[in-house]
Every structure is written in C-alpha cells, then in structure tokens.
Structure 1
Amino acid sequence: MGFLGYLVRKKNYVTLLATFVMAIFLMAALLAPFLFDWETATRVTLDTSLLSPSLAHPLGTDELGRDLLARVVWGARITLIVALVSVAIAMILGVLIGSLCGYYENWFTDAVMRFMDFMIAFPRTLLAIIVVTVLGSGVLSLTLAIGISTIPANVRLFRGPILALKRRQFTVAAKALGARDSSILFSHILPNTTSLIIIQGTLSLAEAILIGSGLSFLGLGPQPPIPEWGAMIAASRAHITSHPHVILAPGITLFAVILAFNLVGDALRDYADPRSRKAI
C-alpha cells in the first residue's frame, strides 16, 4: 500500500482525509472542461445574481449571476496549472543551482550563495509583486513570479545535503575510480535526494497556491472573467455579510486545499524518515 498503508498503520486519518481532498482537487482540475463549459463559469446573467445554494446552483451564484461551483472547479484548474508550473521552475533551477553550489566549493559558488541569502532575506511576496509588476498581470507572469521567488529557498535547502553526500564513501569511491563530476552528481548524489525533492515539491505546491491566490486577491493575477480563487474572494468582499456564500465557496476551498497539501507534505516527510519507517 506504500504511503497510504503507512497512514492506515499510523492511524493518521486526518492525513488520509487530506489525501482524499487532494484527489478531489486534482480530479476537479483535470475534469473541469467535462464538468462545466467555460461559458457557465464566465457568462454574466444579472437576473440570476447572488442566488443562494440550491439544486440548480449547489454553491449559489456570484454578483454577476455566474455559477459558483463552475467557477470554483475552473479555478482549481487554473490554480493547479500555476502551482505545478511555478513549482517545477523553482525545483528544477533550485535543485540544479543548489547542487552545483554544494558540489563545487569556490569563490563563484560562494558569491552565488551570498546572493541567494540576500534574496531569501528579501520578502518573498514583495519579490513576486515586483516580478508581476514588471511582466504585467496574467497567468504566465503570475507563474513566473511564484517560481522565481521560490528558487532561493530551494537553492539553500538542497545545497546542504549535496555538501554532505559528496563526502560519503560511495562518492569518494566513484571519484577515485575516475568517474566524471557530472556522472557523480547526477547518477550518484542527486538520486539520494529524491525523497527530499518529493517532500519539498508537495509543500511548495501549498505555498504556490497561497501566494498565487494572494497576488490575485491584490489584482495581480489572471484578470476577469477568468475564475481564480483569490480574485473571487476579492470580488465578493462587498457581499460578505449579506450573501456570505459568495466568499465561503472559494475561501473554504482554498483553505481546505492548502491545508491538505501541508498535511500530506508533513506526512511524506515522516514516511521518508528511516526512523519512522522502522516503527511500522
């Protein structure tokens, strides 16, 4: 059963529920075009505005009469695309730069790490805002902003394990046998960081979703009528007391998805820990 079996043996039913929430989020994102057409999520029909949840509209409608369930589902698709691509950018570049800086210790890699330390000290959200401001609002700029702002933390995170692994006996032996640096790094060292990559990737997805929604809340993400959870929350502030369902639909969904990714990421960290696995 692998990871799911580990959760059952540990009786970690909260994380099992979080895994189920993640699965629903992924399925909704992948099947959005088959569940709701684009017009249902974006077409303005003022005569059906601010309807309470019903059989026709399970989550109700927003101030422009758009079905909230359709917008939440399409918002999951957009959120997943932004999160996956931005995390892929941050992980690939972060692991690559961190590995090179850990394997090669010289003045240049030291200078790179000092620059990364400066970037980490710089507020991450502010850095993302600067990138979006320069590139302009939209899905692509939002994705690049999140990815670029995440790279420094990944570089710092992966440099440490590479420094330790390059001094292990199997690495020293490979070098003594004449293996090239590229072969040692990519064939011997990096495969030993696979679990860390998976764990960090899962946790980074939660951060990417949160930052992306925050930027969209500020109006720096995809522009209307594109459904995005942060933008939906921002647009529904005026109706928070009179029609709370408008803000609860995207708000609760955003909260549940971020919490689910964090819980699963923490459980993956424990699952990858040999000391935890011995207890099974």
Structure 2
Amino acid sequence: MSAILPFLRFLVITRRYMALLGVAVIVIFAVAALAAPLLFDWTTATRVNLGDALATPSLDLPLGADEMGRNMIARLVWGARTSLLVAGVSVGAALLAGLLIGGLCGYYDNRASFITMRAMDAIISFPRILLAIMLITILGPGMTSLTLAIAISSVPVFARLFRGPVLSLKSRDFVLASRSLGAGDMRLLFRHVLPNIASLVIVQGSISLAEAVLIASGLSFLGLGPQPPVPEWGAMIAQSRSHLMSTPHVVLAPGIALFLLVLSLNLVGDGLRDFTDPKSTRISPGAAP
C-alpha cells in the first residue's frame, strides 16, 4: 500500500487520467476474478440451457447468453479469473526464473554464463506464440500446459533484460565497498544488486502481464488452452464467432473485456515506467491540477 499511494498521487498530479482509468479497470477485473465463486457459482457459468441459447441482453441476463444458453456475464467473470490466473502465475514464474538467470549471468561473466545466454538467445529467436504452440502440442492442451508454455517462452525476455543492469551495477562503488567489508557474492547479488533493479522488474512485469493475457487468449482461440466447459475469453470468442453477424453480443462481450484488460495493463505499465524514471518524477509545483 505504501508503494501504491505515491504512484496514484503521481498519476493524479501529472494528469495521467488514462492510466488512472486503467488502474480502476484492473481493480474491477481483479475483484471480479477473486469474487467469482461468490458472484456466480460454477454451475451458472457452465450449465447448458438451450432454451436461452443466444438470448439477447435482458434484466435476467444482462449480457445475454451464448449458443449453449450459458449466462454471458457469469462466463466473463469466471473467464477473468482464468485469464488473470494463467497470466499471473506464468509471468511470476518467468520473472523469478529470468531474474535468477539474468542476475547470475550478469554477475558471473564467465563461460557458463556465455553458454546460458546463447541458449536464451536461441529460445528468444523463436516467435513466442510458435514456441508456446510447440510446447502445448507436446504437453497437451489445458490450463497447466498453457501456463507453463507462456512461462517458458517469457524467461529469455526477462533474462536478457536483467543481465545488462546487473552487469553494470556489480562494478559500482557501493558494491565494491560491500565486497571490501567481507560481503559474499550471494549477499552482494541479492541484497545490493538486485534490489536496485526493482523498478525495472515492476515495469516489465506489468507489461508482460498484458502480453501473457493476449497470448493465452490467442492460444485458447486456437483450442490449445483450457478445455470446455472452462470459461476463457479467447475460447469464448472462437466458439461464438459464427454468430457475429446475427447475435454480435456473444463475441463482443469477451472481445471488449479482453481489449479493456490488455489496454489497461499497458497504460498502467507506461505510468509505472514514468513513475520510476527520476526525470519524470521531478514535478514542478505548478503541475498540480
């Protein structure tokens, strides 16, 4: 909370209202995802009711029903839970692995780190979607394999990003002073070097969340994500795309939700980048609204 409030204040003072709106949208989706079991039970989101098939929005069904008669708003809420869970776990795992690999390879600039980074280069040379498709084809479709595929395809991005700053920081005066006082390599790396790239970790993490949500939806659109009846926005778009002209709400609802979440994550990522940039945080007194 102590870090969030200054960021929100920065957005208000610098009049970054789109980023503030992005924060609000992310909070709404996150709360809906966490409270999904309380808002709509699993049966409501997955029960087939052909009597309500392709029902238009009404008081009973605010966003209508899909081709199976399932409540669209319930499926959107549970779909947010699926998308955020996959994105959060995959980015979190990739962030930790990439930070460890990039940190160690930057700190120990030897033959082993050279070979490791060349392996990262080889992996990153593949398009992420193609690499994820290959991994899911081997592991089989499902939420676990989707999460793992996104995580593995994201590790080289973080490793390459973090290696450079670590390589630069390890020769700074405060690190050399700590070494002269007897600090070991691991203490220097985890207590002095890595904390100084925390802002970079936060910014890249928020942007990578948007990429992960988009990749997960794209793979689910191709049938490589969670299998029916698990609600997932990309799969919902794929299953309902044939009804786009006759009942567009079944495609527009998950499409707009996906658009808003990805856009909001990118807007917040841009705001975080400016907030952590010392040049951007120098606000003149007359800048307040």
Unaligned 5+ segments in structure 2 are 285-289
SS of 2:189 mapped into structure 1: helix
Q: Which residue of 2 aligns with 1:150?
A: 154
Match of 1:104 among 108, 130, 139: 108
Match of 1:42 among 40, 46, 53: 46
SS of 2:280 mapped into structure 1: helix
Kindly state the Cα deviation for residue 279 of structure 1 after the two structures are TM-superposed.
2.3
Tell me the alpha carbon deviations over residues 101-141 of structure 1, each in whole angstroms, 9 at most, x when there is no partner. 00001111011111111111111111001111111111100
What count of residue pairs does the alignment treat as equivalent? 280
User: Residues of 2 paired with 1:90 and 1:81: CA distance?
Assistant: 14
AA partner of residue 256 (structure 1): L
Is 1:125 the equivalent of 2:126?
A: no
AA partner of residue 255 (structure 1): F
Q: Which residue of 2 aligns with 1:77?
A: 81
Tell me the alpha carbon deviations over residues 71-118 of structure 1, each in whole angstroms, 9 at most, x when there is no partner. 000000111111111011100000000000000011110111111111
Is 1:229 the equivalent of 2:233?
A: yes
AA partner of residue 8 (structure 1): V
Is 1:95 the equivalent of 2:127?
A: no
Tell me the alpha carbon deviations over residues 154-182 of structure 1, each in whole angstroms, 9 at most, x when there is no partner. 00000011011101100111112221000
Is 1:55 the equivalent of 2:54?
A: no
User: Residues of 2 paired with 1:165 and 1:258: CA distance?
Assistant: 33
Is 1:260 the equivalent of 2:283?
A: no
Q: Which residue of 2 aligns with 1:13?
A: 17
Is 1:68 the equivalent of 2:102?
A: no
User: Residues of 2 paired with 1:123 and 1:276: CA distance?
Assistant: 33
User: Residues of 1 paired with 2:281 and 2:139: CA distance?
Assistant: 46
SS of 1:277 mapped into structure 2: coil
Q: What do you get for the CA RMSD once the two structures are aligned?
A: 0.7
Is 1:278 the equivalent of 2:282?
A: yes
How does the TM-score come out when normalised to structure 2?
0.96
Match of 1:182 among 163, 166, 186: 186
**Structure 1 stretches (4+) deviating beyond 4 angstroms?**
none
AA partner of residue 57 (structure 1): L
User: Residues of 2 paired with 1:54 and 1:15: CA distance?
Assistant: 32
AA partner of residue 32 (structure 2): A
User: Residues of 1 paired with 2:87 and 2:248: CA distance?
Assistant: 27
AA partner of residue 219 (structure 1): G
Kindly state the Cα deviation for residue 278 of structure 1 after the two structures are TM-superposed.
1.3
Unaligned 5+ segments in structure 1 are none
How does the TM-score come out when normalised to structure 1?
0.99
Q: Which residue of 2 aligns with 1:86?
A: 90
